[in-house]
Amino acid sequence: MDVDGFEGPLDLLLTLSRTQKVDLRRISVLQLAEQYLGFVNKAKALRIELAADYLVMAAWLAYLKSRLLLPPDPTDEGPSAEDLAAHLAYQLERLQAMREAAARLMARDQKGRDFFVRGIPEGVERARKVVYTASLLDLMRAYARIRTKDEFRPFVMDRDHVFTMEQALERMRGMIGFGGGWSDLESWLPDGWDGSPMRRRSAVAAHFAAMLEMAKRGEIDLRQGETFAPIQIRAKGAA
């Protein structure tokens, strides 16, 4: 309900606060409350039916005025009178900001009043020109990355066909004392490792590395009659 053209109690308070000609954060709440209560009394004298929100605001301002005039109660746990006054000033400041924003929006140019559109719409065409800078090598690299990404599989070693040097070293150390005289390296290969070429190469390489390690530590003797001849071994000091 409007009272004398005001849209609400905050609107009336904002108008009354402007008469103090100070910043909204520095207004005198006591003076503002007296002005508002005087306005409400005049409005009640002219019109008995007054909007409820105006009366509620009048009662609250009367309460705030009494809180500001009387000394504070030390047992009161609620907000102080200064906090209530600061909150009221903040509400007025927000209302002032909204009014200014609304005024700026309404002052903008409006279509059909300040500017006009063309009667015939104008079509927009966009032309695209694609220029490829990749060379044949770049295309091949991109194709290779795609292919290898699809066909990539993590490497997993087949332990069934691998004879390690540690296994060969442990095996030869346990048997070298029973070898007697010279014997070919291939005779030391374990049973079942000469059936397939893959297993045979793994076993030969492992025993050859173990043989070199044992010779380095002085555990065996080595000999080879000529180039590419079989390598023979025996225990160190054996007759």
Q: What is d(CA 57, CA 61) in angstroms, rounded to the nearest whole number?
A: 6
**Model pTM?**
0.37
- Position 4 scores a pLDDT of 46
Please give the span between the terminal C-alpha atoms of the chain, in angstroms, as a whole number: 126
Q: Which amino acid is residue 164, in one-letter code?
A: T
For residues 15 and 98, membership in a common domain is answered with: yes
Has residue 23 been placed in a domain? yes
Within this chain, do residues 18 and 89 fall inside the same structural domain, yes or no? Answer: yes
The C-alpha atoms of residue 59 and residue 62 are separated, in whole angstroms, by 5
Residues 101 and 170 in one domain: no
Same domain, 26 and 99: yes
Give mean pLDDT in consecutive 10-residue pieces for the chain, a chain of 239 residues. Answer: 50 68 59 76 62 70 74 75 78 84 88 79 84 87 81 65 85 80 82 78 87 87 85 78
- Shared domain for 102 and 185, answered yes or no, is no
Looking at the 3D structure of the chain, how many domains does it have?
2
Residue 133 belongs to a domain: no
Residue 54 within a domain: yes
44 within a domain of the structure (yes/no): yes
- Domain membership of residue 117 (yes or no) is no
Domain boundary among 106, 125, 151: 106
Q: DSSP for 153-183, please give it.
A: ------GGG---HHHHHHHHHHHGGG--S-E
**Which pLDDT score, from 0 to 100, does residue 217 have?**
86
The reply to whether 226 falls in a domain is yes
**Do 172 and 98 share a structural domain?**
no
Q: Which residues pair with 235 in a beta bridge?
A: 220
Domain shared by 92 and 179, yes or no? no
Cα radius of gyration (the chain): 51
| pLDDT value for 26 | 58
Q: What is the pLDDT, as a whole number, of residue 19? A: 66
pLDDT confidence of residue 69: 74
Is 91 part of any domain?
yes
Per the domain annotation, does 144 fall within a domain? no
Domain extent for 179 = 161-235
Same domain, 29 and 100: yes
What token pair was written down for 139? 């295309």
CATH assignment of the domain containing 227: 1.10.10.580
- 87 shares its domain with 16: yes
